[in-house]
Structure 1
């Protein structure tokens, strides 16, 4: 039968590309699929300084290097939007939107990642990944001794704000509600002398001409007071959306849409594995995604070999 692969990998971010490298080196017949250019969210990161051995480089440059590595090893890649994945005992069927393409595989690695939620206000698209970031661990160092605004009040927002307040001269937090993170973390943040918190606010606009220069917002209370805060950078923490629509029916995702996988990246469905940001995890970084991809490929290859015995 045509289009039968040992392993099909859905998602060509760092997890998916690393899985492809490890899988093809395990003598698997591999297909890597993504609806966009390889790299995932990494492509939208202006500077990366914490990927071991790489020094400082852009996310786009690192994505190119990873993809070139897959091609040097002969990984088959195609631009496809996966819309359905179904399971049978021996083969998984992957259906794509383009050309009604259908592939079959003995194992599937799902590395579709997540997408940060956005506010959808003026200036956000213009300064995304170039003044507005969604990862303080990735981009915070470039704002040392500068003024920063954080949007959000949950655990991620508060934890990252504590880190940023330690390196920035001034930190402003703008949140739709009050701080909703763990009480101890909230107390720690409130005591920091360079932190100002504006609860119950709606962000109206990000301003700037050659670079981002400030945030305009207004109170959600009856007075609807408008304020404007200058800044050198913004970090948004208003949640994320898991890219799991194509396989949600398999029963392998939690209430947030993220894949539940064990330490070997195995889901509850034999032959289907998760890797990277789409899985339930504490830290979402390029290096952790690559680690997941390597583990998933190793587990998937072992599963495929067991079917051939």
Structure 2
């Protein structure tokens, strides 16, 4: 039996693993994808203390390497169910079962979809949610980015160095991203801002070729020709596997107390997956540390 099993190897989960392992606990961490969470698909991080500017994948690997050097067991599977028992928990994957005294959920979020006609037809055939993964496919081509937050801005900057032109589409006149990064985007010569506008349809044959855009103020529509589109329109909590436990709010985020413990004793959650107002790398690592330390106190 593990002392602590952590579900999700993003910044919150990895930080929790570091604190737990350094307290001599037997720790396992589940990750069905690439360790590092959203950082892995972030081209550049400029707001993490100690790093003026760092590539997202490099920061993610540094965190992951530190965890592995502490002897934490990486379990390369997605968790399908968590069951409370008299002695702790059973954590199920598709093929195996694991037992732990404490479980910390740190599954983060995934990218929200636009849910418009043609989107499912061209997923991975022109439509992507990861510029750092797929951006090189569009070298010297025209692409679009949809969104108005920091992620949309950062990936627009990244893509502007590859694509011949980038349309940045946002449903409002003002961006919600940090002002300094917005100013960087506005200075890019090959970026066209398409404001007060929404995507109505994706069009193409074997791959994406066009997008139908509508101005929300005038109702006027236009067709833009693109080879790719990158969506950054919000996040969805990765909590489908715990919905039966009754620990989430209406939006699917996990509810925790000040100790990051859910209403189920010894079941903790931390990072972007919980109910909170700010979701940043630094807040995720903070959550992971506090959750782990409180879990360790319970085990002592």
For normalisation by structure 1, the TM-score amounts to 0.73
Q: Give the aligned partner of residue 188 of structure 1.
A: none
Q: Give the aligned partner of residue 36 of structure 2.
A: 39
Shift of residue 197 of structure 1?
A: 1.8
In structure 2, what is the Cα distance between the partners aligned to 1:151 and 1:114? 21
In structure 1, what is the Cα distance between the partners aligned to 2:24 and 2:51? 28
Picking from 153, 157, 162, the partner of 1:140 is 153
In structure 1, what is the Cα distance between the partners aligned to 2:282 and 2:293? 17
In structure 1, what is the Cα distance between the partners aligned to 2:280 and 2:147? 12
Per the alignment, do residues 126 and 259 of structure 1 end up closer, same or farther by CA in structure 2, a change over 3 Å counting?
Answer: closer
In structure 2, what is the Cα distance between the partners aligned to 1:59 and 1:133? 20
Shift of residue 85 of structure 1?
A: 0.2
Picking from 62, 68, 73, the partner of 1:71 is 68
Identify unmatched segments of 5+ residues in structure 2.
136-143, 161-165
Per the alignment, do residues 132 and 304 of structure 1 end up closer, same or farther by CA in structure 2, a change over 3 Å counting?
Answer: farther
Picking from 125, 137, 144, the partner of 2:128 is 125
Per the alignment, do residues 24 and 205 of structure 1 end up closer, same or farther by CA in structure 2, a change over 3 Å counting?
Answer: farther
In structure 1, what is the Cα distance between the partners aligned to 2:203 and 2:287? 37
The CA RMSD measured in Å over matched residues stands at 3.5
In structure 2, what is the Cα distance between the partners aligned to 1:51 and 1:275? 18
Shift of residue 298 of structure 1?
A: 0.5
Picking from 216, 219, 232, the partner of 2:211 is 216
- Contact between 2:196 and 2:215, CA under 8 Å: does it hold in 1? no
Q: For structure 1, which segment, 281-290 or 158-167, has the greater mean C-alpha deviation from structure 2 after superposition?
A: 158-167
Q: Give the aligned partner of residue 95 of structure 1.
A: 92
Deviation per CA, 1:181-223: give whole Å up to 9, x if none. xxxxxxxxxxxxxxx4235x415369xxxxxxx98323499x9
Shift of residue 288 of structure 1?
A: 1.1
Shift of residue 135 of structure 1?
A: 7.8
In structure 1, what is the Cα distance between the partners aligned to 2:65 and 2:260? 25
Matched, 1:109 2:109: no
Q: Give the aligned partner of residue 277 of structure 1.
A: 272
Shift of residue 228 of structure 1?
A: 2.9
Q: Give the aligned partner of residue 178 of structure 1.
A: none
Per the alignment, do residues 271 and 116 of structure 1 end up closer, same or farther by CA in structure 2, a change over 3 Å counting?
Answer: same
Q: Give the aligned partner of residue 7 of structure 2.
A: 10
Shift of residue 277 of structure 1?
A: 0.9
Shift of residue 161 of structure 1?
A: 8.5
In structure 1, what is the Cα distance between the partners aligned to 2:203 and 2:49? 36
For normalisation by structure 2, the TM-score amounts to 0.75
Per the alignment, do residues 134 and 58 of structure 1 end up closer, same or farther by CA in structure 2, a change over 3 Å counting?
Answer: farther
Deviation per CA, 1:242-283: give whole Å up to 9, x if none. 111111111111111111112221111110111111111122
In structure 2, what is the Cα distance between the partners aligned to 1:128 and 1:116? 13
- Contact between 1:107 and 1:300, CA under 8 Å: does it hold in 2? yes
1:53-64 paired onto structure 2 within 5 Å: 53-64=50-61
Matched, 1:204 2:241: no
Per the alignment, do residues 48 and 220 of structure 1 end up closer, same or farther by CA in structure 2, a change over 3 Å counting?
Answer: closer
